[in-house]
Amino acid sequence: MHMRKTIIAGNWKMNLTPAQGIVLVSQVWDAIKDTDLTDRKVVFAPPMVSIVPVADKMKNMPNISVAAQNVSSHTSGAYTGETSAQMLAASGAQWAIIGHSERRAYYNETNVELALKVSCSLVENITPIYCCGESLIERNKGTYKACVERQITAGIFHLSPDQISKIAIAYEPVWAIGTGETATPAQAQAMHGFIRDLIASKYGTQIANGISILYGGSMKPGNAKDLLTMADIDGGLIGGASLKAADFIAIIKETL
């Protein structure tokens, strides 16, 4: 057994109004409130406009917290449309998804910019969930380890040992996101082990063994157990299935 926290995070992406989000949170809470969630974290990442109402709703729900889906790489100023880490923290967000593949692909977020986002979040005591993962082309070419190594070294290896101990990582192969195709437990485990070894090579095994690495990409009730029982898979970052209360609840229950 390791001492890592199990994290089940729902990434709602651009779905659900604030009112719909609150309903979903209540449904999930009702189903899990009587279970022992020690060493587990359930995280909801709603759109920005829902962070305040969702965080408010969760005030008396221990082990459940809110994540932003993005954070600015700047602290304040003339950046129209952006939201700073300080604002997110003040709104109740305790986590931030950083470097999701959709942000990398559609908004051209680079590893350099993501490194700044990670640092800005940590200053405000927001836990980054730093995402990495290769495309289908990189998987087929056999360059997927090099891709993930680049994302990890450029995005988080500027951190001090103390800082990196505070983050979580999500491995999300792009070819498995929203496609219904999941990495096999063995494929995912191989990459999680690779990521942990990379961290160990710079920060030592004790720090590497303490960092939760989540798997993301078409995780659902039917495959969650097989993925979550792998040695280096410490939770899930769940898109589609996190929008359906029954599915998200079933995945959480696989960790109990």
Stretch that binds ligand PGA, among 17-25, 114-122, 200-208, 210-218 (CB under 6 A): 210-218
Is-catalytic flag, 100? yes
Q: Which is nearer to ligand PGA, 151 or 218 (CB)?
A: 218
Does residue 239 interact with ligand PGA by CB under 6 A?
yes
138 is catalytic: no
Contacts of 75 (CB under 8 A, 6+ apart): 84, 85, 86, 120, 123
**Nearest residue to ligand PGA on Cβ basis:** 239
Rounded CA gap, 75 and 55, in Å? 22
Residue 238 binds to ligand PGA (criterion: CB under 6 A): yes
Examine residue 173 and tell whether it contacts ligand PGA (CB under 6 A). Answer: no
What are the structure tokens assigned to 95, written together? 């986590």
The verdict on 237 binding ligand PGA (CB under 6 A) reads: yes
Structure tokens at 89: 């923290």
Q: Which is nearer to ligand PGA, 28 or 203 (CB)?
A: 28
**Which of 240, 248, 251, 252 is close enough to bind ligand PGA by CB under 6 A?**
240
Q: Are 99 and 131 in contact (CB under 8 A)?
A: yes
Long-range contacts of 56-62, Cβ-Cβ distance < 8 Å, separation of 24 or more: 56/92, 57/22, 57/25, 57/26, 58/25, 58/29, 58/92, 61/25, 61/29, 61/33, 62/37
The one catalytic residue among 109, 113, 172, 254: 172
DSSP, collapsed to helix, strand or coil, labels residue 110 as coil
Strands 93-98 and 64-68: parallel
Asked if 221 contacts 245 with a C-beta cutoff of 8 angstroms, the reply is: no
x-or-dash string of contact with ligand PGA, 176-195, rule CB under 6 A: -xx-----------------
Q: State which residue, 178 or 222, has the beta carbon closest to ligand PGA.
A: 178
CB of residue 69 to ligand PGA, shortest distance in Å: 9
Q: Which of 46, 92, 128, 217 binds ligand PGA (CB under 6 A)?
A: 217
Question: Two tokens at 149?
Answer: 């190594």
Nearer to ligand PGA by Cβ, of 156 and 203: the residue is: 156
Query: Binding to ligand PGA by residue 213, rule CB under 6 A?
Result: no
Residues with Cβ within 8 Å of 39's Cβ and at least 6 positions away in sequence, in order, are: 5, 6
Count CB neighbours of 92 within 10 A. 18
For 130, the 3-state DSSP assignment is strand
> Is there binding between residue 219 and ligand PGA (CB under 6 A)?
yes
User: What's the closest the beta carbon of residue 3 comes to ligand PGA, in angstroms?
Assistant: 25
In the structure encoding, which two tokens stand for residue 194, read together? 């690779």
- Taking the least distance from each CB to ligand PGA, the nearer of 203 and 220 is 220
Write down the least CB distance from residue 169 to ligand PGA, Å: 13
Residues near ligand PGA (CB under 6 A) are 11, 172, 177-178, 216-219, 237-241
Provide the annotated active-site residues: 100, 172
